[in-house]
């Protein structure tokens, strides 16, 4: 059983179901509304935990009903929340999600307490970082916190996974401490300047990331699948064909499931990728972020069909 420490975001997601995305200046009526626990960090941690990983969380919530909901939901998923700080000055992070009838979404995120996560908060979780097999981070919390987490991880032989989302300029020091980077095709282009069109462009992207200091890469390409490139080889793993109703947590489900199965030396990356693709394919068939993330039993059952 892998031990996974997630350093990341905790958001209350409010989803508005709409027929199509509004045009600039246009007002549309929503077909439905729902609220659920979410945030890239929370989604990835729940995905890892539901796939059997011993999961620990480092993050921050506000002293409010949203924060209480986040802590309750993580505890119910067996996640150790002792590394989550409660901030009485800043509210819990939140996200407003517009979801159209094709399952595509647009998301607005308010960072809130997520943006207050500090180097000191991460240092306080040193034990859980040192004892992990993987430390996973995203970009909905300050990069200084991620850098500290990765410094502690690498000093103790722990494998680091970076999901550079939402994509923006990365501190070169973070990249040099990243063992595996997992962008989608849009994020990969934003970081390398290379448009993802085919295998050649993916290999060019892998070479660009390697120059930045990251020698292992997975690029997720939505419903098409995922490309990986490690020091031992590369391949493209096709996605499972399903009818998507909500893609909100697809990438996060993929990353959490992957971290639960991957060996730290990445020797089983293809097998772990297929498992993660299966998990993601199940998540997009249900509404919501956390509610849609499958368990290991559900993933294994789907694999038998």
DSSP 91: P
Query: What is the Cα 194 distance to its own chain's centre?
Result: 22
Strand partners for 17:
32, 99
Output 155 or 106, whichever has higher pLDDT. 155
Main-chain dihedrals φ then ψ at residue 150, nearest 5 degrees = -70, -35
Within 13 Å, how many C-alpha atoms sit on residue 213's CB side? 11
Read off the tokens for 115. Answer: 């943006």
Q: Is the pTM of this model over 0.85?
A: yes
Q: Which of 254, 226, 256, 253 is nearest to 239 (CA)?
A: 226
* Torsional class of 159: left (φ above 0), alpha (ψ -120 to 50), beta (otherwise): beta
CA–CA separation, 280 and 221 (whole Å): 12
Q: Is it the case that residue 246 has pLDDT exceeding 80?
A: no
Read off the tokens for 73. Answer: 């939901």
Q: What is the pLDDT of residues 4-48, one digit of tens each?
A: 999 999 999 888 999 999 999 999 999 999 888 889 999 999 999
Helix/strand/coil for 107: strand
CA–CA separation, 178 and 207 (whole Å): 15
pLDDT at 233: 95
Tell me the Cα Rg of the chain.
18
Read off the tokens for 240. Answer: 């499972």
pLDDT at 225: 92
pLDDT at 273: 97
Beta-strand relationship, 233-238 and 225-230: antiparallel
pLDDT at 243: 83
Q: Are 45 and 84 in contact (CB under 8 A)?
A: no
Q: DSSP labels for 235-290? A: EEEEPPP---S--TTHHHHHHHHHHHH--TT-TTHHHHHHHHHHHHHHHTTSSSSG
Options 171, 232, 252, 265, the catalytic residue: 252
CB-based burial of residue 75 (10 Å sphere; 0-12 exposed, 13-18 middle, 19+ buried)? exposed
Active site (annotated) includes residue 252: yes
Strand partners for 236:
227
In the block, which residue shows the tokens 């995905």?
A: 47
Q: What is the pLDDT of residues 110-142, one digit of tens each?
A: 999 999 999 999 999 999 999 999 999 999 999
pLDDT at 3: 98
Mean predicted lDDT score pLDDT of the chain: 94
Helix/strand/coil for 228: strand
Q: Is it the case that residue 60 has pLDDT exceeding 90?
A: yes
């Amino acid at each position: 059983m892998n031990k996974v420490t997630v350093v990341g975001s905790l958001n209350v997601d409010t989803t508005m179901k709409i027929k199509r995305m509004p045009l600039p200046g246009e007002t549309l009526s929503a077909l439905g509304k729902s609220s659920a626990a979410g945030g890239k960090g929370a989604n990835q941690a729940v995905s890892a935990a539901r796939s059997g990983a011993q999961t620990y969380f480092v993050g921050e919530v506000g002293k409010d009903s949203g924060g209480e909901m986040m802590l309750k939901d993580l505890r119910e998923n067996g996640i150790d929340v002792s590394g989550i700080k409660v901030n009485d000055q800043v509210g819990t992070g939140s996200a407003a999600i517009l979801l159209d009838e094709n399952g595509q979404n647009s998301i607005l995120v308010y960072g809130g307490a997520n943006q207050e996560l500090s180097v000191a908060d991460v240092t306080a979780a040193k034990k859980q970082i040192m004892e992990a097999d993987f430390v996973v981070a995203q970009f909905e919390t300050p990069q200084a916190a991620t850098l500290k987490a990765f410094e502690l991880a690498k000093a103790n032989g722990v494998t680091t996974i970076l999901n550079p989302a939402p994509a923006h300029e990365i501190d070169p020091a973070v990249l040099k401490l990243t063992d595996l980077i997992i962008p989608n095709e849009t994020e990969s282009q934003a970081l390398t300047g290379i448009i993802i069109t085919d295998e050649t462009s993916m290999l060019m992207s892998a070479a660009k990331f390697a120059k930045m200091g990251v020698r292992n890469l997975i690029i997720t390409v939505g419903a098409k699948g995922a490309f990986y490139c490690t020091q031992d080889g590369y391949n493209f793993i096709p996605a499972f064909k399903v009818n998507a109703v909500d893609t909100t947590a697809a990438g996060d489900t993929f990353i959490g499931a992957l971290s639960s199965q991957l060996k730290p030396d990445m020797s089983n990356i293809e097998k772990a990728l297929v498992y993660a693709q299966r998990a993601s394919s199940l998540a997009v068939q249900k509404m919501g972020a956390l509610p849609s993330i499958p368990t290991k039993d559900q993933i294994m059952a789907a694999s038998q069909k």
